A and B are shown apart, each in its own frame.
Chain A
Amino acid sequence: MILHNAKEPDQLTRALCYATATVASAALLIGPLLIGAWSMALAALALGAFTIVAIAKNWGRPLGAVEFIGFVLLATLGILRQVHPLWGLIGVAAALATWDLRSLRTRMSDAGFVAHPERLLRHHLTRLGGVVLLGVALGAGALLWQIDYGIGTVVGLVCLCVLGLSRIVAHIRRRSD
């Protein structure tokens, strides 16, 4: 895709935000519909519509976080109510991409000028795409390949995971300005 001026990257990110928000909303709509959970389907539809309107109107930053939390909670509730977890996985991954792209759009619009926006966008999309696709692949693999562990092993693994994650978040908090 050849981009000629600075307006095109913004149009592209906006289009991608619409697309990922639609995918997230569709994934969390179809899953409950298949098992007849109409209220959850309706909630996913409403959240998706609200997100698309918020993207169109460029509503403020905190809304992006609220929408993302909403998608994650819907996915969690769906899985707990026996919706196939793949739909939840796709929904969460797409919602994460939406939130990230909206954050990028905000940073690009806050800066008065963006130098070589197409190059910046290309690098960003490459990395984001890699993370999202790898995350979905690993998640799908985790869903397909099930191993039985004893409760002690599970708790130990979870503790390791929690410790590792805590260190990453603490490092980001400490080193970031």
Chain B
Amino acid sequence: MSVRRSLLIGALVYLLVAVGLGTLTGALLAIALPLVLYLGTVYLYQPKPPQFSLHRSLSHTVAPPDAEIQVTLTVTNAGDHLDEVQIQDNLPKGLRVVDGSPNTLLMLEPGERCEVTYTVTGPRGAYRFQSAGAAIREHFGLFTRQHHYAVPSNLSILPTVPAVRSIPIRPRRTRGFAGPIPSRQAGSGVEFFGVRTYEPGDPRRWINWRLSARHPREIFVNDFEQERIADVGLILDARERTNITVEGVSLFEHAVEATASLADMFLSDGNRVGLLVYGRGVERTFPGYGKHQREQILRALARARVGGSLVFDSLDYLPTRSFPAKSQIVLISPLCEDDPPVLSRIRARGYEVLVVSPNPVRFEEHALPENTLSEVALRIARAERSLWMHQVKRLGIPVIDWQVQLSLDIVMRAELRRSLHPISQ
């Protein structure tokens, strides 16, 4: 637009000069003088290449969903006076501005520093600010210089972590540190494991008096099951084929929340937890402990996106060998028809498997039109899903069929209570 304005003014001056000459009217040349002076001023005060620096800071680099994050862009002019500077901070897709503006107009004196502040918010995700643009103009706006500055910043908006209570797991192998998981070995614990002969140093309260009375020459003591921590591998199914979106809400978001809750719960119990996001590709978070690992997993979940891939369309290529042998695997997936055989193979390799399955049929049914066709389709879908659930349960794999409108904690408690036993082989 500024170039067109300067062309227009030039064209009007030419017109006045041409008509003035053609009609020998000198007054027309006189009225062209303000326009010539205007253009001459633009030429005289054209902005020189700017020398300023841009720095961005965020009030939080990690935040919960829909939290407000203040972005501050600091502009420092190390060069000459700048008549007009328009700064445009390029927002990553997905973030929205709730206060202020990333587009600012200002004037900068030599050495002056100015801060541009605005507030953004957004859903779960990993956002990367790449660059900011600056348009430098003289006062009349006819001459513009555009510059782009690389000002990278990262923002992670983590998923919410609804609390879930501990669930009992019994992987076939545990780790060497004390924890809440029965280890199938004798040692210090609270659950009765067996009896053995008395050894010097055993506490007297361990003596099994009833058994010892039947054997006059020997004394027996009770042995308890040692409780240790375990390796838990969380696998989040991010395949496009298993995801559905209803009225703008994706089933995958519920799966992410469930994964976050389970990770938090297992880590709080002291277990070593790893994450694998399987969909567009394979994204691994190596197993670890404690708050640092929790942070790592939540950041990985913030980055997780549904994706399609011909290679990773089926669970056949799950790199389960990357999880410690005979550890506990928890798969968070809506499941589809060719998943049960893969779960059978994983189980056969010695892993204990638990499936938390967000129910896509119940998720979608309220949005379907109410007619006979929908009713029939729903019944078929429910029957199919029920069949897959049954196939998986027959393999000895507990399945939590999760209707996502309900709390995962309540559903897990109910399902595990229904199975009567803690999860075991």
Contacts and interface: CB of A to CB of B under 8 A. Distances in A.
Interface of A: 61, 65, 68-69, 72, 75-76, 79-80, 85, 88-89, 92-93, 96, 100, 103-104, 107-108, 110-116, 119-120, 123-124, 127-128, 131-132, 134-136, 138-140, 142-143, 146, 154-155, 158, 161-162, 165-166, 168-169, 171-173, 175-177
Nearest to A133: B34
A35 B27 CA distance: 17
A134 B8 contact: no
Nearest to B109: A119
Give the one of A127, A168, A172 with max B CB within 10 A.
A172
B103 interface: yes
7 contacts: A68-B8, A113-B101, A115-B107, A127-B140, A135-B35, A175-B143, A176-B144
Contacts of A132: 34
A34 to B, nearest CB: 16
A173 B105 contact: no
Contacts of B140: 100, 103, 127-128
B274 to A, nearest CB: 44
Contact of A139 (B21, B31, B43, B141): B31
A114 B27 contact: no
B34 A136 contact: yes
Interface stretch (B10-18, B60-68, B163-171, B334-342): B10-18
B142 A172 contact: yes
Given A112-B101, A158-B21, A171-B43, 17 more contacts: A65-B8, A79-B28, A80-B23, A89-B33, A96-B38, A111-B86, A113-B101, A113-B105, A116-B106, A120-B84, A127-B45, A127-B140, A131-B38, A142-B33, A161-B17, A161-B36, A177-B146
A89 B30 contact: yes
Contact of A111 (B23, B42, B45, B101): B101
Contacts, number: 175
B348 interface: no
A174 B407 CA distance: 64
A81 B142 CA distance: 33
A131 B105 contact: no
Contact of B33 (A128, A138, A154, A162): A138
Interface string B109-137: 00000101010000000000000000100
B25 A80 contact: yes
A154 B21 contact: yes
Nearest to B45: A127
B410 interface: no
7 smallest CB-CB distances across A and B, nearest first, come from A112-B101, A135-B34, A85-B27, A177-B146, A111-B105, A115-B106, A142-B30
A107 B39 contact: no
Contacts of B6: 169, 172-173, 176
A92 B37 CA distance: 13
Interface residues of B, number: 62
B102 A112 contact: yes
A144 to B, nearest CB: 10
A49 B40 CA distance: 31
B26 A146 contact: yes
B34 A89 contact: yes
Interface in B354-376: none
A132 B41 CA distance: 11
A91 B392 CA distance: 87
A42 to B, nearest CB: 21
Contacts of A176: 2-3, 6, 142-145
Contacts of A111: 86, 101, 103-105
Contact of A107 (B19, B30, B101, B105): B105
A79 B38 contact: no
A88 B12 CA distance: 14
A158 B34 contact: no
B14 A119 contact: no
A142 B118 CA distance: 52
Contacts of A146: 26
B3 A173 contact: yes
Contact of A92 (B34, B46, B144, B146): B34
Nearest to B4: A65
B143 A172 contact: yes
Contacts of B36: 161, 165
B31 A75 contact: yes
A168 B25 CA distance: 25
A61 B141 CA distance: 13
B81 to A, nearest CB: 9
Nearest to B19: A76
B41 A139 contact: no
B52 to A, nearest CB: 14
B104 A113 contact: yes
A103 B141 contact: yes
B139 A128 contact: yes
B152 interface: no
B1 interface: yes
B137 to A, nearest CB: 8
Contacts of B23: 80
